[in-house]
Chain A
Amino acid sequence: MATQPASLRPAADELEVSIFGPGVGECIVVHLGRGEWAIIDSCIDRESRRPVALAYLERLGIVPANAVKLFVVTHWHDDHTGGAAEVFRECVNATFFCSAALRSREFFEVVGIGGRAFEPDSGVKELKTMLGIIKSRAPAGVRPASVGPAYANANQCLWRAPTAAPVPVSVHALSPSPGAIQLALQEFARLIPALNAPKRRLVAQDPNQVAVVLHVEAGQHTALLGSDLETGTDVAAGWHAIVHSTARPQARAGIFKVAHHGSQNADDRRIWSELLTPEVVAVVTPFRRMPLPKPTDLERIKSNARHAFLTAPVRGSAPPQRDAFVERMAKATARDRRLLEKPMGHVQLRVQMTRAGATPTATLFGAAHAI
């Protein structure tokens, strides 16, 4: 599957978009040129127990503390935040962005609840840990908010290469829109439990209209990283707001991290016709808990993209065989048992920033495969 060793660094003028997805969880690592990197979301490699982004950069011989300039947590759900606090702790030179919806009284209430609810792997806990790290980094007498986090809003530039850089590179947020933030506040409010309600793990509501979608423009090439943004009925939120926006960067993307695991609810024909090029290379990360993408989603994506890849099979592998008695009893109680997070898959896309019209080179690792 892999045609080159994963330890080969990209050239200084190469855009790299590496998308990792183990079945549940995703992380994107982007080379912004000249040895500078961005990390978008985080998930844990179940083998090494390390955040995949840090493990990957280290394999390339890169020191994350020096090289990572931007770290974005697109939303607070568990499958995008595994190990995020560890990434943040190590990437001391990165500006940390999260959705502007999280700078709200409603979300801080969720954080207060999250620490006391029954939710051992919650993304809320990761974000709370990150706020604690920021607090510890703030100089005495300085309000921690002045140190971080930074909050991403639609059509805001999150990072830009210095003007002296040989190739212009920028990262913009295309969401959340003001309308989406209002919807998110309502969602957060619904997560606050009533007196005497049972303590359950926090369960996110659908649809996700508040995730941060990123637009990475590097010379002649652009990547659209769709996070988990979905399309609801509100035209002021989700993908509706992005495609209707006149303020967003106009360059069409030839690389697309398909939103929300390829679900129909995260698709809109105008994404393909207005935000992407006809030659787009699309990458989907599966979400086995649903499971997503469905076969019809794969067909739709394949018909819209020039090349399409999955970071891992939608259906997890069979679990390890336990002794015959346990297997017999388990089959009588549960059906369709599948591994959730193994194996890890990685789609690496690289293209020279200055080569107009070039198709990114795709290299597949682990369980990644073409659709």
Chain B
Amino acid sequence: MSMKRKNYQPVQAETALMLGFTNIGDVSGTPTAARTTVEAGAPVFVLRPEPRVPELPLRNREIQATSAVTTAVANDLKPEVVPVVLSREYLPERYFDVRQFWQGTVDSVARDGVKAVLEDVTNPQNSRETAIIQWEDIPEGDADLVAPGAVFYWSIGYESTITGQRNGVSSIRFRRLPAWTRSELEAAHREAQELEQLFGDPTSVATTGRR
């Protein structure tokens, strides 16, 4: 059975990074040259099991997302975003073997580091941890994103090349959170008005307009 494009959920490279696939290539099925790494904003394709996982033409190699890794994207994609299958011709020259993956939230920012709470995505049954992340391990390009409440992903693993080289990597990437849009703010305000009508003080319930 050939891969059908409709069975793939297109996601941005940032989502692929969250999954831990820091260097997966284009698996759209189009026989084009594989990318060696996923560039920020570049499209990759992650198979979703809807309506069901099709049989794919496996050639020499298969990469599957583990359930632990997929929980990292619970807010973006359903956990059952499995598997990602790459045939050898699309394998990148370098690939990343994730051994540990955390989702972090910044608690506070200080000169000596960023205090954060870490949730273990690899082993979700583990208790959350606190840690101080050193500034030198935060990518310069992400510095403007570091603030209380900001979310980041921390992966530790081996980066390997098809020529056999292997290096240990600890990588922190801050999530570029979407911005509030006018329509979202208006929807939030409408919800607030409805809640106020239902639960607010009847002597001060607003009926129209924003204060």
Measured in the bound complex, the distance between the Cα atoms of B131 and A53 in whole Å is 29
Against B, the Cβ 8 Å flags (1 = close, 0 = not) of A188-217 are 000001111111111100000000000000
Q: In whole angstroms, how far apart are the Cα atoms of A342 and B128 in the complex?
A: 9
CB distance from B69 to the nearest CB of A (A): 15
Q: Say yes or no: A201 contacts B105, CB within 8 Å.
A: yes
Judge whether B177 and A118 touch: CB under 8 Å.
yes
A160-171 interface mask toward B, CB cutoff 8 Å, 1 = contact, 0 = none? Answer: 000000000000
CA gap between A330 and B199 in the complex, in Å: 48
Q: Digit string of B42-82 for contact with A (CB within 8 Å is 1, else 0)?
A: 00000000000000000000000000000000110000000
B115 at the interface (CB under 8 A from A): yes
Residues B130 and A316 in contact, CB atoms below 8 Å apart: yes
In A157-188, the 8 Å CB interface with B consists of: none
Among A279-318, those with CB < 8 Å from B are 288-289, 291, 316
Q: How many residues of A contact B (CB 8 A)?
A: 57
- In the complex, chain B residues 71-109 whose Cβ is within 8 Å of any chain A Cβ: 74-75, 99-100, 105, 107
CB atoms of A340 and B179 under 8 A apart: no
Q: Which of B143-190 contact A (CB under 8 A)?
A: 145, 147-151, 154, 156, 158, 168-170, 172, 176-182, 184-185, 187-190
A248 in contact (CB, < 8 A): no
Q: Is B177 a contact partner of A198 (Cβ separation < 8 A)? A: yes
| Most B C-beta atoms less than 10 A away, residue of A112, A325, A337, A338 | A112
Task: Among B107, B134, B187, point to the contact of A116 (Cβ < 8 A).
Answer: B187
Would you give the 0/1 interface string for B191-207, flagging 1 where the beta carbon is closer than 8 Å to chain A? 11101101111101010
Majority SS at the chain A contact face? loop
Nearest CB in chain A: distance from B162 CB, A: 21
Q: Is the CB of A200 within 8 A of B196?
A: no
Find chain B residues with CB under 8 A from A131 CB: 195, 198-199
Residues in B neighbouring A322, C-beta threshold 8 A: 99-100
The segment from A101-109, A233-241, A252-260 that touches chain B is A101-109
Flag if A120 contacts B187 (CB, 8 Å): no
Q: Let me know if B127 and A108 touch, CB within 8 A.
A: no
Inter-chain CA distance A203–B105, complex, in Å, is 11
B158 neighbours in A (Cβ, 8 Å): 325
Cα–Cα distance between A256 and B202 once the two chains are bound (Å):
36
Chain B residues contacting A288 (CB-CB under 8 Å) are 130
B154, B156, B169, B185: the one within 8 Å of A195 (CB): B185
A144 within 8 A of B: yes
Indicate whether B137 reaches chain A with its CB closer than 8 angstroms.
yes
B11: interface (CB < 8 Å): no
Q: Which of B117, B181, B187, B201 contacts A340 (CB 8 A)?
A: B117
Instruction: Please give me the residue from chain B that is nearest to A143 by CB atom.
Output: B198
B177 shortest CB reach to chain A, Å: 5
Q: Are B137 and A333 in contact (CB under 8 A)?
A: yes
Interface of B is mostly: mixed
B147 touches A199 (CB 8 A): no
Bound-state Cα–Cα, A199 to B147, Å: 11
Judge if A332 is at the interface, Cβ distance under 8 Å. Answer: yes
**For B181, what are the chain A residues with a Cβ–Cβ distance below 8 Å?**
195-196
| A119 to B196 alpha-carbon distance, docked (Å) | 22
Is B126 on the interface with A (CB-CB < 8 A)? yes
Q: Is the CB of A199 within 8 A of B178?
A: yes
Residues of A within 8 A of B206 (CB): 105
B195 in complex: contacting residue of A112, A193, A289, A342, CB < 8 Å: A112
Interface string of B105-129 (1 = CB under 8 A from A): 1010000010101100000001111
Point out the residues of chain A lying under 8 angstroms from B199, CB to CB.
103, 108, 131, 134, 144-145, 149
Q: Is the CB of B188 within 8 A of A330?
A: no
Tell me, rounded to whole Å, the shortest Cβ–Cβ distance linking A96 to chain B. 12
Q: Contact at B132–A289, with CB atoms within 8 Å?
A: no
Q: Which residues of A contact B129 (CB under 8 A)?
A: 316, 319, 337-340
Identify B134's interface contact among A24, A112, A335, CB under 8 A: A335
Q: Which residue of B lies closest to A337 (CB)?
A: B131
B99 partner residues in chain A, CB cutoff 8 A = 322-323, 325-326
Contact of A199 among B177, B182, B198 (CB under 8 A): B177
User: B188 — which chain A residues lie within 8 A by C-beta?
Assistant: 109, 112-113, 115-116
Complex: chain A residue closest to B144, CB-CB: A198
Shortest distance in angstroms between A116's beta carbon and chain B's nearest beta carbon? 6
Is there a chain A Cβ closer than 8 Å to B34's Cβ? no
CA A330 to CA B156, docked complex, whole Å: 8
Q: What are 25 A-B pairs at a CB distance below 8 A?
A: A105-B204, A109-B189, A112-B190, A112-B192, A113-B188, A115-B188, A118-B149, A120-B75, A131-B199, A143-B202, A145-B200, A149-B199, A194-B180, A195-B182, A202-B149, A203-B148, A319-B127, A325-B168, A329-B169, A332-B170, A333-B154, A340-B127, A340-B129, A341-B127, A342-B127
What are the 9 tightest A-B residue pairs by CB atom distance, in nearest-first order? A112-B188, A200-B149, A112-B192, A112-B191, A201-B149, A334-B131, A108-B192, A340-B128, A108-B195
Given contacts A199-B179, A319-B126, 15 further A-B contacts (CB under 8 A): A109-B192, A112-B189, A195-B180, A198-B150, A199-B178, A199-B180, A316-B130, A319-B129, A329-B169, A330-B156, A335-B132, A336-B132, A339-B128, A340-B130, A342-B127
